[in-house]
Amino acid sequence: MVAPRNPIEPAGRRRQPVREYFHDIYQTVRTILIGMRITLKYCFAKTITVQYPDVAPALQPRYRGFHFYEIEKCIACDLCAKACPVDCIYIEKTGPRKIDKETNIAVGGAMTRYAIDYAKCMFCALCCDPCPTDCIHMGNIHDMSGYTRKDMIVEFTELAKAGLQTPQPLWMQKEHLPDWAAEKKEAWEEFEFSHDKLTQQNDRRREEMVKAMVEQKKK
């Protein structure tokens, strides 16, 4: 019986079956050795234990952590939810919303729910790109814990009522925090990761966040 031809080999260069047999053995041994070399390198490397949370984790600038969400700019268009490959974004509103061009704030129906189930989220960022008002972003924290799967659902509307745009790890609610965590918490509370007209007006932003959950007249 003639062995089927490898489709990626150019015509006229077919290997002999015996030669192909030994070539396959060679490739198998070679790839195992390459893998083992990498494994052995780590077996003898010096182990490093990062003393998190006392020491800040070394996250890259484009790290995709738990989202931060600017509710006052959200028009509840569902584009993020439709783009999500695992259907883990839940949005509820009382009516259509649109951006008021003067203020860059969304008006119309009330946002009654914006939630993400982090038991399902795979941090792919596909929800961020289609957002027409640039109000959902990948954040810069990797840490969240809970006792049940339900604890992994973050209700961003509830966070907004407390003037927050992103979930915070439980331990960050303690009084005495390591310096890096205190700085990060302050940056969140001062909306340093937002990039629009309200950035320098924190009180006004807090008001707009709460207003987003109440029906606003369209201009």
Side-chain-side CA neighbours of residue 49 (13 Å): 2
**Beta 111-117 vs 153-155: how paired, if at all?**
antiparallel
Number of shown-chain residues binding ligand SF4 (CB under 6 A): 27
By CB under 6 A, name the one of 65, 66, 72, 77 that touches ligand SF4: 77
The 3-class secondary structure across 59-94, one letter per residue, is CCCCCCEEEEECHHHCCCCCHHHHHCCCCCEEEEEC
Helix (H) or strand (E) holding 43, with range, is: helix 17-43
Near ligand SF4 in 101-160, by CB under 6 A: 116, 121-127, 130-133, 135-136
By CB under 6 A, name the one of 66, 72, 88, 168 that touches ligand SF4: 88
**What's the closest the beta carbon of residue 66 comes to ligand SF4, in angstroms?**
10
**Of the candidates 96, 80, 73, 82, the residue with the CA atom closest to the CA atom of residue 212:** 73
By CB under 6 A, name the one of 15, 53, 79, 211 that touches ligand SF4: 79
Task: Give whichever of 57 and 130 is closer to ligand SF4, judged by the CB atom.
Answer: 130
Task: Give whichever of 114 and 181 is closer to ligand SF4, judged by the CB atom.
Answer: 114
Query: Distance between CA atoms of 6 and 131, rounded to whole angstroms?
Result: 45
Q: Is 84 in the site for ligand SF4 (CB under 6 A)?
A: yes
Q: Is 86 in the site for ligand SF4 (CB under 6 A)?
A: yes
By CB under 6 A, name the one of 89, 107, 181, 212 that touches ligand SF4: 89
Strand partners of residue 115: 90, 155
Using CB under 6 A as the criterion, which residues of the chain lie in contact with ligand SF4 when the complex forms?
74-80, 83-84, 86, 88-89, 91, 116, 121-127, 130-133, 135-136
